[in-house]
Amino acid sequence: MRRSELPHFGVLEGLRVVYSGSSIASPYGPSLMADMGADVIWIEHYKNADIQRTGTSYGYVAEQDRRNQRTISLNTYSDEGKEIFKRMIKDTDIFIEGSRGGQWERHGLGDDVLWEINPKLSIVHISGFGQYGDPEYVKRASYDPIGQAFGGLMYANSDPENHDEKVLPVMGMMADYYAAYFAAFSGLSGYIHAQKTGKGESFDISQYESIIRGMNHLNMDIWNLNRTMASFADHDRNSGTAGYNSFRCKDGQQIYMLALGGGVMKGLAKLLDVGPDVIPDGVGLLFIDGRQPDGHKMERRIIEYCAQHTAEEVEKEMNEYGIPCSRVMRFEDMLTHPHYLARESITHWETKDGTQVIGSNVVPKCKNNPGRIWRGCPNKGQDNNDILADLGYSEEEIKELNEKQIVTFKETMPVQVRKEFNGEIINPEGN
């Protein structure tokens, strides 16, 4: 697809983003920008298929994280490939790359080289351990679990009785997604700065530091208060606060509630029909870890109440009394839940072979310039010739670049999808 053929929509219309990198950390930020109307070009390795195309997700992740994008499968190791890349950068606002620290510098495409071409370019480097520091760490390879291990998140998710046993990563690729959010924020921050000053900026994002920054109080409690690490895996992962946990209901489903604040505690006392001997007047929280006042009585009463009601009943009644509470949603239930449907939180879009895939709709929702889904994940190198034409290459030059495999194309396998989504397609445009 040529640049002139791109749809016009969203708050980032006109922004041009180029990125390079596999898996999640580097693609995810650009994918959010693409959903908001940015022209996003994905530089794929000219030989190797991205692991999102070939992993156990059967292409689902690629469909969601690489939708609304154009792609060029480019040999940036060759002189011709580097020249193509430099032409792309000349008219790019944000460049995001994910690799080992210093790799693009060693590749002859460091920040100073790119700023000679485009002084206003916002550059974002994502790596496991950063672009500088202990040289032995900087050059290390990393994937999400490595970032979680070095950043302490894996320790926080370990066995609370023995933190050296049963060490597991937190599911959901948290190190990758944390880094990706910082990348999106950084890239746009650099772009805004360049509009004001005419000068670009380079951002150094490491997976492990992204984890540290997003860990809330867990690490700071240990560093500042010398507290013992509880862990996410501990039943009392709320640090000993009563009514701040998951509770099993009559129908076997669980709810999660948070009894915090004077008004909430007052509402909870009314719901449970208990007096000040269980929930003292004026308290904002109760503890179950030995601190006073003691919350064991309230905790036991909550357990009894939940055991007598379904999760739907508990959720409804608690919220009527102003108590923050939600059923622990099952993925299959999201497809028919009235709030999910009303907000069109989950939607359909077409894959490259014309089938429909189910996934997340555009986030966030914009009132005046909504994002949309206009294209699924393209084939590897699908837009090679169009991107080269946009860069000024002639038909003969493009033919030669293909013959020399400076750019490559490969038709990828179709994604395995369900044929139905609640009996209908919900707003495939994503508006």
pLDDT given for residue 125 in this prediction: 97
d(CA 44, CA 72): 6
d(CA 166, CA 159): 6
d(CA 289, CA 304): 20
CA angle 43, 44, 49 (to 5 degrees): 170
Task: Say whether 236 is catalytic.
Answer: no
- DSSP codes joined into one string, 288-335: SSS-SSB-HHHHHHHHHHHHTS-HHHHHHHHHHTT--EEE---HHHHT
pLDDT given for residue 286 in this prediction: 92
Sign, Cα dihedral of 324, 327, 332, 336 = negative
DSSP designation for 14: T
Dihedral-angle region of residue 173 (phi above 0 means left; psi in -120 to 50 means alpha; beta otherwise)? left
pLDDT means per 10 residues, the chain with 431 residues, are: 97 98 92 98 91 68 91 96 98 96 94 98 97 94 91 81 72 90 97 98 96 83 71 51 93 95 96 95 86 85 97 96 95 92 93 88 96 94 97 97 95 61 39 32
pLDDT given for residue 428 in this prediction: 33
d(CA 378, CA 65): 11
d(CA 279, CA 271): 12
pLDDT given for residue 272 in this prediction: 97
- DSSP codes joined into one string, 191-209: HHHHHHHS--EEEEEEHHH
pLDDT given for residue 180 in this prediction: 96
**Pick the catalytic residue: 39, 65, 176, 390?**
176
Tokens of 384: 């090679």
Q: What is the CATH number of domain 3-214+341-403?
A: 3.40.50.10540
Count of CB atoms within 10 A of residue 249's CB?
21
Q: Delimit the CATH 3.40.50.10540 region(s) of the chain.
A: 3-214+341-403
Q: Contacts from 129-134 at CB under 8 Å and sequence distance 24+?
A: 129/101, 129/206, 129/207, 129/208, 130/101, 130/204, 130/205, 130/206, 130/209, 131/101, 131/102, 131/204, 132/101, 132/204, 133/101
